[in-house]
Amino acid sequence: MSALALKWGERWSRWRGAAPVEGPDALPVRVHGTEFTRTRAAPVRVKGFDQPLIWVTVTLLLWGLVMVYSASIAMPDNPRFGNYAQTHFLLRHIVAIGVALVAASLVYQVPMDSWDKWAPWLFIASLVLLIAVLIPGIGKEVNGARRWIALGFMNFQPSELAKLGVLLYAANYMVRKMEVKERFFAAVMPMGVAVAVVGSLLLAEPDMGAFLVIAIIAMGILFLGGVNARMFFLIAFVLIIAFGLMIALSDWRRERILAYLNPWDEKNALGKGYQLSHSLIAIGRGEIFGVGLGGSVEKLHWLPEAHTDFLLAVIGEEFGFVGVLTMIALFLWLTRRIMHIGRQAIAMDRVFSGLVAQGVGVWMGFQAFINMGVNLGALPTKGLTLPLMSFGGSAILLNLMAIAMVLRVDHENRQLMHGGRV
């Protein structure tokens, strides 16, 4: 039996491609308790980054590329876009992804210790750009909102950089304030002031959706960084009151909330509830399996911004409930994997890296949740894109830069786990 076992063991090793190793590297192992043979030692191949995270990101990017083309192909029929080719938005989206991939590859090369040092300066740079976008002649106004800076090849949206800037600053801040995190005024108030300054600049654009995401990112990092639960709930209560006052003191925000509560009312369906009502019609038409890729009717000038904020509605119409469920599963897996990488870093006492990774998870997860909720009528309408999928150069750029940071965290985790140094 021992000879037969040895023979089959050799065949198994050859099938796996393991080459025989003689000498001191070969390890003695007992076979069936009677004789000894030697194992064939082979070097362990260590992956430099989380490949499944790469593949789910690529899947969302490619699916988003297809859907942006599908949702925008009929837009040149509208006189407003009469000078555009049918591939105009597709080509711009491809360029944005290309630029973002180059930027992400550069970000991946930067050690997390460097981002820790640069975090306050990046936060200040984002504040400067948020101020610059409000200056006439620098900021570009579209539909009454001044949110973009024209760069020629793309329109840059400083609020997207502010998300990353606040994320890095909050992680850096929590590491510096770790000793006083139980004291409200010493630990939380300075961060609250920073978020309030960013929020006031965003509301001046106005961009309440971006402010909501930034507030959630900051709160998530404070909570994950170990802030006392009572202080966390006090912050949440203050934010709820603040957002309530913003809605109560703004006529158009109040009208949007009322339209959300009853989008089928005649006044709302032709006004503030127009996008929501047509989004629900699109998703309803898709039923279980959808009408097929390219078969959407709502994208034919019925649903505004179908290629940006309401891309999910087109997905629901063309791929049905199955398509929407698949997309939700992909975002759940993406968020779960990113949070796992963050927990690994914190377990190895790399608190800044862990908080950055988990902050990216909070960012991607909650922004996707808000966008899906808006498209499905579960949340009031907000001008937020679907991460990694919707048309928008600034969003794609910052999304991929954030994912690159998570991959860098994972790479450094693997180096430490295998005895290396960061």
Q: What is the pLDDT of residue 234?
A: 76
Judge whether 190 lies within some domain.
yes
48 near 414, Cβ under 8 Å?
yes
Residues 112 and 26 in one domain: no
Contacting residues for 150 by C-beta, under 8 A, at least 6 apart: 140, 156
Question: What is the spatial distance between Cα 409 and Cα 198, in angstroms, rounded to a whole number?
Answer: 27
Question: What is the spatial distance between Cα 261 and Cα 256, in angstroms, rounded to a whole number?
Answer: 9
Q: What is the pLDDT of residue 267?
A: 75
Judge whether 389 lies within some domain.
yes
Percentage with pLDDT > 90 across the chain: 46
371 near 385, Cβ under 8 Å?
yes
Q: What is the pLDDT of residue 199?
A: 87
Judge whether 113 lies within some domain.
yes
- Over residues 318-350, the pLDDT tens digits come to 999 999 999 999 999 999 999 999 999 999 999
Q: Which of 30-34, 81-85, 389-393 has the lowest mean pLDDT?
A: 30-34
Q: What is the pLDDT of residue 126?
A: 93
Residues 109 and 208 in one domain: yes
Q: What is the pLDDT of residue 27?
A: 43
What total number of domains does the chain contain? 2
Question: What is the spatial distance between Cα 313 and Cα 242, in angstroms, rounded to a whole number?
Answer: 30
Q: Which of 18-22, 246-250, 294-298 has the lowest mean pLDDT?
A: 18-22
Residues 348 and 369 in one domain: yes
pLDDT band at 284 (very low <50, low <70, confident <90, very high): very high
Q: What is the pLDDT of residue 406?
A: 96
Tokens 């460097």 belong to 114
Residues 12 and 106 in one domain: no
405 near 103, Cβ under 8 Å?
no
Judge whether 217 lies within some domain.
yes
- Over residues 23-55, the pLDDT tens digits come to 444 444 444 444 444 444 444 455 567 889 999
* Strand, coil or helix: 225: coil
56 near 334, Cβ under 8 Å?
yes
Question: What is the spatial distance between Cα 6 and Cα 306, in angstroms, rounded to a whole number?
Answer: 64
Helix then strand count (H, E) for the chain reads: 15, 5
- Over residues 196-226, the pLDDT tens digits come to 899 889 888 888 888 889 999 988 888 888 7
Residues 8 and 120 in one domain: no
Top-confidence residue, 263 or 65: 65
Using the Cα atoms of residue 362, residue 367, residue 373 and residue 376 in order, give the sign of their dihedral.
Answer: negative
40 near 13, Cβ under 8 Å?
yes
Q: Give the closest residue to 406 by CA, choosing from 341, 346, 335, 348.
A: 341
Q: Give the closest residue to 196 by CA, choosing from 214, 209, 182, 180.
A: 214
Rg from Cα positions in the chain: 26
- The whole-chain average pLDDT of the chain stands at 83
Q: 185: part of which helix (H) or strand (E)?
A: helix 184-187
pLDDT band at 181 (very low <50, low <70, confident <90, very high): low
Residues 206 and 262 in one domain: yes
Q: What is the pLDDT of residue 251?
A: 74
Q: What is the pLDDT of residue 301?
A: 83
Domain extent for 120: 51-417
pLDDT band at 189 (very low <50, low <70, confident <90, very high): confident
Q: What is the pLDDT of residue 387?
A: 95
Residues 19 and 162 in one domain: no
Top-confidence residue, 304 or 144: 304
Residues 157 and 269 in one domain: yes
Residues 290 and 224 in one domain: yes
349 backbone φψ class: left, alpha, beta (φ>0; ψ -120 to 50)? left
Judge whether 311 lies within some domain.
yes
pTM of the model: 0.84
253 near 286, Cβ under 8 Å?
no
* Strand, coil or helix: 25: coil
Judge whether 422 lies within some domain.
no
Q: 141: part of which helix (H) or strand (E)?
A: strand 139-142
Tokens 């690529």 belong to 58
Percentage with pLDDT > 70 across the chain: 84
pLDDT tops 80 at residue 172: yes
Residues 16 and 135 in one domain: no
Residues 151 and 215 in one domain: yes
Nearest 10 degrees: CA dihedral of 161, 163, 166, 170? -140
- Over residues 118-162, the pLDDT tens digits come to 999 999 999 999 999 988 888 887 776 788 888 776 788 999 999
State the pairing for strand pair 139-142/35-38: unpaired
Residues 215 and 309 in one domain: yes
Judge whether 13 lies within some domain.
yes
> DSSP characters for 53-87?
HHHHHHHHHHHHHHHHHHHHTTGGGSGGGTTS-TT
Judge whether 46 lies within some domain.
no
